[in-house]
Amino acid sequence: MYIMNHKSLFKSQIGKDAIMGNYNQLLAKCSVPYEELFLDTHYGKTYVITSGEPSSRPLILLHGSGSNSSMWIRDIERYSKHYRVFAVDIPGDPGKSEEKQYSLRGQAYSEWIDDVLHALQLDKVSFIGISLGAWMAINFAVKHPMKVEKIVLISASGIGPQKISFLFKAMPFLLLGEKGRDKVSRLVYSNQTIPKEAADNVKIIARHFHFRTESIPIFTDSELSSLTMPILLIAGEKDVMLDSRKSIDRLSRLLPDANVKLLPDHGHVIINQAKHILPFLLNGY
């Protein structure tokens, strides 16, 4: 396995404590009963927030890069009415799982998800993933199609190209400290109003965490074409990080039966989509 970073991904112990403290404060606001699990995997301890009836069908939530499962707190309430929900912290991100960050170009993350399913004693699951989490769901489905029931992809990496122009726009602002980071956040959010607690969480992580620098691999035509399970792709037309139009066009060409939604006033961060996602998960449309 190829480890991308051998040092702590947190800039300091104080910074890590700040991120974890805020994580716990957000988790305390969860309005439905939940359990916290630490699973043993070949890639270290994995932290999972689980809610919903144990007998319900399983649904795994995968957050984006530079985030953790606190982003799903409000969604867990909606999805746990119908599913046994597992919000999983990805290793190498600012959550409670193993700190080691593995290369996206090897087998590490597909093997890690397989370990998670084994530890949870799950044979087949549905996924909701956002950004890098969506990439991980696709990556796992390509390698283990029989273990995937349905996939919901939000602002999915790995289908269409990344927008290199965003890096050039963002770099000068990132040199300006807190105000610069606020400007970059506004570019990412587009016109969407983000809850203050979520915006504050992003600021705390940005202040204290070393983000991934590895580019996210693009899936080949043959990899995407091999997917036979139902897929829903939700993308924002004003995404400054990914070319949403090309993502939707490519997926529609390779998988004509895939459900796709291009949201005209949304950027890369897309929230409150249960109204689109639940009908797809429950009924297939």
Q: What pLDDT is stored for residue 198 in this prediction?
A: 79
Q: Which stretches of the chain drop beneath a pLDDT of 70? A: 1-7, 163-193, 285
pTM value?
Answer: 0.91
In 107-174, the DSSP E strands lie at 125-130, 148-154
Q: What pLDDT is stored for residue 185 in this prediction?
A: 56
Measured N-to-C along each axis, helices 13-27 and 196-208 cross at an angle, to the nearest 10 degrees, of 160
Strand order in the sheet with 231-236: 35-41, 44-51, 83-88, 57-62, 125-130, 148-154, 231-236, 259-263
Residue with tokens 């400290």: 177
**CATH code where residue 226 lies:** 3.40.50.1820
Residue range of the domain that includes 133: 3-283
DSSP per position, 4-62 = EE-S-SBS-HHHHHHHHHHHHHHHTT--S--EEEEEEETTEEEEEEEES-TTSEEEEEE
Q: What pLDDT is stored for residue 271 in this prediction?
A: 82
Task: Determine the Cα–Cα distance for residues 14 and 274; give it in Å rounded to an integer.
Answer: 36
Quote the number of domains for the chain. 1
How far, in Å, are 110, 129, 247, 248 from residue 254 at the CA level? 22, 20, 11, 10
Q: What pLDDT is stored for residue 186 in this prediction?
A: 55
